[in-house]
């Protein structure tokens, strides 16, 4: 899935589990179906009747004697049909006409699979590499295709971590991880889960931002589905092309073009090489997509909008939140932070929401959002326009308003300057500074800057990971206020409850569940979040709280309600240990 910096937009359609490396879809089967009319002459059908598509195996599979005559007759008939189509081949071994194929003279791209032998080793969903047992090697024709050693999955993880640590460039680690995912999916997720603190910055923020910017250059294998303007009128067919119906998570990239001149002129660019679509053309494609997703996956398909431009993100969320099960972590964990803060203040103080909004001030590129600017403001900013004289800079706003908390989500790097942090520290004993923009180059300030400029008094959290900082002999561990803490568990809670809509109280429940897991030990180190090594336990508790709130609000449809929602959430999580094969 493309991330920030990419010229296209991505969406996740989830039917059971949320889009996250921690709750990965159980892999689809490697067998795909071929209609009989498309069988090559040496493919032998297994079971079923002649009118039904089915899985196929190659000739070395055993055939029941009673079926042999009928199948030989069918093969002869198919061979005759095929030979009539491809009579003039250039080689006696050219059974399917590949030797004479040109761009003008096409041939059928025969593809059929067997769950054994060489094909099994090339299937990332089922491949175990050297972890195949002696019994499995005999049963699945792997003898001689692997070195003789049989190793455990844990040893495989240890070896790959050793190799990954040899790379000094994060993007190289990212590419190595993606290569592993294409070879051995279960090992990839086992590696990630066991080493999440070290590897999450590689496969997610901040390295994924660079990977998106260089996506065309480093592209190896397609992942998920790709919908572009060229597919307009055929989006339903595109979704049907995904071979597995019972999916749990499906990343979908929506390409509407790009205005990035560097990409338009890049010979390696693999997206639509045209200007970004807007207006009617854009919204017609999105309307078709949203309709098709529900048609394929049902009313309760959970759709996460990811990395949509602000001017589209707010419109799409407003338009579809009443008719679809949708959320947008960039909005609901971006500008939505302000609304959630106001809601929580109102909940705790019983004060009207309008009054609580006045405790929260917003700035944009033109300065402080005030009433005198209301006529020119976008609709989502208007509730945050308060009575105050115009203020052009962040420093002037901080000095005038004297906030206790400073939260950055602008995506503009180095906006929390030394003067701004020192001003915050001048009237707060423990200034709270959240630099949430990603990637690291867009961070409003670094952890080291926040601690040094506040004389070690800042309570700091960031969107991108930062190393611990020593100040005056004390080690400060910066918290990572990344959506990876909240939204995997949030999505899981929505799915396990069968919620039909996302409510703001469910977002508050997720925030409260995370806060409840922070300890005094975390606070003493300067971190306001629990350690990320516990992310699966954290996410299960968040999922349970979100699901409970959905049941409380009457939005849940999965009945009866599980007695222990946390245990139920854990049972729905993907476990990447190897399976035994017959």
d(CA 15, CA 250) in angstroms, rounded, equals: 9
Domains 117-203 and 351-482 share a fold: no
Per domain, the residue ranges of the chain are 9-21+223-332, 36-100, 117-203, 351-482, 483-505+535-582
Cis amide bond preceding 58, omega within 30: no
Helices 565-572 and 487-497 cross at an angle (nearest 10°) of 100
Helices 394-401 and 418-427 cross at an angle (nearest 10°) of 0
DSSP 195: T
CA dihedral of 32, 25, 332, 201, whole degrees rounded to 10: -110
The residue length of the chain stands at: 582
- Report whether 449 contacts 476 (CB < 8 A): no
Name which of 522, 540, 434, 441 is nearest 485 in CA terms: 540
Q: Which residues are annotated as a binding site?
A: 306-307, 330, 438, 482
Query: Phi/psi zone of residue 54: left (φ > 0), alpha (ψ -120 to 50 degrees), beta?
Result: beta
**Token pair for 170:** 């994060």
d(CA 468, CA 460) in angstroms, rounded, equals: 11
Name which of 10, 3, 7, 407 is nearest 206 in CA terms: 3
Q: Which residues are annotated as a binding site for a divalent metal cation?
A: 306-307, 330
Q: How many helices (H) and strands (E) does the chain have?
A: 24, 15
CATH class of domain segment(s) 9-21+223-332: alpha beta
- Report whether 490 contacts 510 (CB < 8 A): yes
d(CA 108, CA 179) in angstroms, rounded, equals: 29
Q: Which residues are annotated as a binding site for (S)-malate?
A: 438, 482
- Report whether 264 contacts 7 (CB < 8 A): no
DSSP 34: B
d(CA 392, CA 372) in angstroms, rounded, equals: 13
Residue 110 to residues 41, 96, 266, 411: CA-CA distances in angstroms? 11, 8, 34, 48
CATH number attached to the domain at 117-203: 1.20.1370.30
pLDDT along the chain (582 residues), means of 10: 40 44 39 35 35 36 46 49 43 48 54 71 94 95 97 98 97 97 97 96 91 94 96 97 88 96 96 96 98 95 90 90 89 73 92 94 94 90 94 96 94 93 97 90 94 95 90 90 88 96 93 92 83 94 98 97 97 94 87
CATH number attached to the domain at 351-482: 3.40.50.720
């Amino acid at each position: 899935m493309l991330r920030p910096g990419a010229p296209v937009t991505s969406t996740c359609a989830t039917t059971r589990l949320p889009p996250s490396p921690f709750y990965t879809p159980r892999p689809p089967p490697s067998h795909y179906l071929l209609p009989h009319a498309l069988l090559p002459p040496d493919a032998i059908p297994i079971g079923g009747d002649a009118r039904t598509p089915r899985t196929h195996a190659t000739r070395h599979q055993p055939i029941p004697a009673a079926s042999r005559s009928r199948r030989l007759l069918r093969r002869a008939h198919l061979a005759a049909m095929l030979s009539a189509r491809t009579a003039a081949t250039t080689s006696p071994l050219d059974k399917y006409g590949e030797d004479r194929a040109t761009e003008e003279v096409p041939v059928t791209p025969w593809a059929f699979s067997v769950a054994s032998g060489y094909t099994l080793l090339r299937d990332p969903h089922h491949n175990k590499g050297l972890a195949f047992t002696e019994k499995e090697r005999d049963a699945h024709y792997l003898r001689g295709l692997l070195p003789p050693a049989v190793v455990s999955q844990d040893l495989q993880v240890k070896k790959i971590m050793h190799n990954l640590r040899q790379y000094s460039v994060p993007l190289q680690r990212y590419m190595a991880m993606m290569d592993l995912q294409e070879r051995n999916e279960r090992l990839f997720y086992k590696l990630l889960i066991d080493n999440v603190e070290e590897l999450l910055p590689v496969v997610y923020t901040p390295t994924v931002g660079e990977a998106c910017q260089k996506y065309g250059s480093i592209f190896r294998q397609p992942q998920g589905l790709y919908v572009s303007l060229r597919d307009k009128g055929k989006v339903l067919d595109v979704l049907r092309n995904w071979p597995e119906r019972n999916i749990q998570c499906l990343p979908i990239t929506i390409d509407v073009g790009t205005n990035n001149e560097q990409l338009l002129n890049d010979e390696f660019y693999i997206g639509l090489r045209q200007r970004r679509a807007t207006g009617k053309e854009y919204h017609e494609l999105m309307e078709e997509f949203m309709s098709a997703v529900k048609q394929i996956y049902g009313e309760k398909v959970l759709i996460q909008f990811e990395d949509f431009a602000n001017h589209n993100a707010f419109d799409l969320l407003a338009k579809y939140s009443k008719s679809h099960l949708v959320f947008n972590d960039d909005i609901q964990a971006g500008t939505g932070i302000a609304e959630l803060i106001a809601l929580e203040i109102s909940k705790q103080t019983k004060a009207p929401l309008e009054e609580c909004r006045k405790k929260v001030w917003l700035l944009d590129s033109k300065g402080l959002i005030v009433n005198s600017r209301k006529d020119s403001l976008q609709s989502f900013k208007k509730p945050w326009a308060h009575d105050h004289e115009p203020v052009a800079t962040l420093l002037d706003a901080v000095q005038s308003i004297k906030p206790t908390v400073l939260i950055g989500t602008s995506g503009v790097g180095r906006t929390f300057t030394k003067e701004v942090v020192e001003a915050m520290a001048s009237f707060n004993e423990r200034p709270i500074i959240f630099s949430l923009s990603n990637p690291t180059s867009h961070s409003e300030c670094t952890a080291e800057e926040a601690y040094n400029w506040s004389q070690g008094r800042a309570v700091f959290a960031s969107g991108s990971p930062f190393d611990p900082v020593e100040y005056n002999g004390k080690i400060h561990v910066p918290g990572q206020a990344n959506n990876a803490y909240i939204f995997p568990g949030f999505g899981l809670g929505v799915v396990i409850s069968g919620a039909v809509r996302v409510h703001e109280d469910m977002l508050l429940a997720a925030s409260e569940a995370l806060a409840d897991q922070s300890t005094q030990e975390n606070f003493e180190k300067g971190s306001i979040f629990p350690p990320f090594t516990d992310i699966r336990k954290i996410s299960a508790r968040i999922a349970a709280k979100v699901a409970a709130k959905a049941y409380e609000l009457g939005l849940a449809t999965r009945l009866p309600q599980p007695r222990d929602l946390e245990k139920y959430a854990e049972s729905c999580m993907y476990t990447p240990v190897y399976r035994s094969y017959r």
